[in-house]
Each structure stands twice: as C-alpha cells, then as structure tokens.
A = this chain, B = another copy of it.
C-alpha cells in the first residue's frame, strides 16, 4: 500500500509552525508497512486542496489529510471534500451527542459553530475523535482510500491510533516494512562507505541501506521489506551482526540511542560514575547527560567554571598554571579534570576549556580551539581540538566530541564491556 500525506494550513507555509504531524504519521504508517510516497503541504484554499487531492488520487492508494477541520471559518477542508466526492453535508447524530457531552462536562453552552461540526459528508464513514469535537472521515473511491483528520496533534494521533490504523490493518492489504538504524561515530561518510562497501553489496535485495550523515556521526538505516516480520527481523539482525564485526568500536548505538546515553550505559555496567568540569561548553555536556533518564545512577554532577577564579577556588587549578599556560591549555584542562574528579569523588571526569567565540581568539589560539581532558582510575590525558568560528556550533561540537572521546576512553579502559 502506497500513501500520500496532505497537510493543510497556511501556518506551515509561512514557517510559523513545523509540520510534526507528517513525521509522526509517516513513522506510524511505515511501521505498519505502508510506504509514504510523498508529503504535500498546501494552503487553506479550496482550489489548492482540490488539485492536491486529484494529484494524490492518481499516485497512491491511501491519502491521509490533516488540518482544516476546526470550528472557525478558515477551515474549509470538509466542504472541499464534499465537493470533491460530489456528496452533501448531513447531520450525524452520534457526533453531535459527543460534542454536546464534551460541552456539558465543561459547563459551556454549544454555539452554532460547534453544532455545525456534527455535519458530515453523506457518503463517508465517520471516525470518532476521542480528544476533540471534529470527527475524522473515511472515503473510498475506486481503489483509493481518503482519510481526513483534525490538525491538532493530539487529536490527530488519537484518531490515527484508535480508528485509522486498526481499520487499515484489518483491510489485509499491508506489506511488512521494518527498520533498524545503526549509529556510528568517528568515521566520515565517504570513508565509512568504503569500509563497508563489500558488506553493502552483499545485502539481500529486500534490504536497503541509506546513509544519514552528520558532520561527526553517520547513521546507517537498514530497511527490510517483505511479508514475514519474523524472517525480516532475523535477517536484519544477522546483517547488523556482520556490520558490528566491521565497525567494532565505531557503532555506539541503535535507533534512538544518544552518545551520552551510550557512555552512561558503559559507566553503569562497570559500576562507575562521572563528573564534568566545563568552561567553553558552559553546561551543555551536563545538559546532554541529564537528558538521559536514569542518569543519576552514574552522573555525580559538574562544575561550570566560566570565571578563572572558579577554576582555582572550586576546582583547585593553581593560579600559577593559569598564569603560565593560560586558561585554554593542556595543563589547565588536566587540572580541571583532576580537580572535579576529586571534588565530586567520581571514577571518571571530563573537562573542557576553550575559546567558543566570537571574541577571545588569538593567533596562537584561534576561536574554536578547545582543550579537553579525561581523568580516570588509571589515566589522566588531554587532547586539543580546533573547531570553527561559530559560537553555538563550537559548543555543540565540543560537547559531542567530548562525549565521543569519553566513550572511546572508557571502552579502552574496560575492553570487555563493549555494550554493542
């Protein structure tokens, strides 16, 4: 089954809101084995909607429409659907009862606009909306199914999960599609492609590979299509096992895993804790760590030592070191890592000190220069990185790089514990 998603609403086309409905719907449809061929965002405009419906009908056998079903006058989807299918609006008693009950519960009187929401095209199947007043609508013509849903995300999600997906599954027309995304660090896309070329070429034809690159992390998405979920899952797992042998330390997780979460798992499995001392990253590493649910099991805390006085008074970096080598130096980074490890009594500690920009750079130490250090049970090491000249991106990249380096270092120190 091939689908198209049509989202209706001017607010998307002026960039005022990000269309998250489409991504959510596309994800759900894919998991159900329905391929989404196209996503189209159009204006709250009769002609535009009519054209989009006609275009989609030629291309796909399932059209999902979101948006444009609210009570105010700029919502014209329902009338346009009526026109498209040559139907007329009729009063739908169960929908009216549901709207009336919702208003009664809140002690609010119904107005005419609300009552009009119980009008539906006479040839459609009404889909109950458990979270709002505008119902969903299901149309069929020739071999194409059209489903219209409200645009409010939680209403759309409820109608999809409680009405749309069960009906589609029961139709018996669906293929099975499953995905697995392999997350890698430390190898640029082009080099990765060369390293796994043979493996890629040996994939069975029903498994497709896509590279989803990012400056530092490349995601490899495997998609298997067929009839038998179990067999597909087995083959996908088998291929991922082969890939792990080619990328033993580069793979840091799968699907929704994060670098901080992956480092955290390693720490937790080894009953270790970490603390962080940040200057240029200014709390962002701590933030990435504490986004991880359950981080309190392995994260002690951190110090944001922005002012040099804090580096000395709280972290115990000697004034002499800062004077002699500078705040952005190997020596200061090492002393910060050792200092926060001692202060928070953690097993590992990570420290960053650098020049995020836009000011503060020099010829010797340009904006983007970052020293990082790791203090562990048996080692105290530092490394220098040079990023670009954009402050925000320097903070992000320094933080990501620090977590990547941390993960690699723990793996070297505790080699038996590769969690993959």
* Contact indicator A70/B189 (Cβ below 8 Å): yes
**Total copies of the chain:** 2
Please tell me if A174 contacts chain B, counting CB pairs below 8 Å.
no
A interface residues (Cβ-Cβ under 8 A, vs B): 10-20, 22-30, 35-44, 48, 52, 55, 70-74, 108, 111, 113-114, 132, 152, 154, 179, 181, 188-191, 193-194, 209-215, 221, 223, 273, 276, 278, 281-287, 289-291, 293-296, 299-307, 309-310, 313-314, 343-345, 356-359, 391-393, 395
Query: Which B residues are CB-close (under 8 A) to A194?
Result: 111, 113
Q: How far is the CB of A387 from chain B (nearest CB, A)?
A: 11
* Contact indicator B293/A357 (Cβ below 8 Å): yes
* Contact indicator A14/B302 (Cβ below 8 Å): no
For the complex, give the distance between the alpha carbons of A189 and B103 in Å.
13
A14 (CB) vs chain B CBs: closest residue? B30
Known pairs A14-B26, A293-B359. 16 more at Cβ < 8 A?
A11-B210, A12-B22, A14-B223, A15-B25, A17-B212, A37-B43, A38-B43, A38-B48, A38-B52, A70-B211, A70-B213, A72-B213, A74-B211, A152-B215, A282-B291, A301-B310
A38 (CB) vs chain B CBs: closest residue? B42
Main secondary structure of the interface of A (DSSP, over half): mixed
A223 (CB) vs chain B CBs: closest residue? B14
Known: A309-B300, A310-B300. A391 touches B293 (CB 8 A): yes
* Contact indicator A190/B41 (Cβ below 8 Å): no
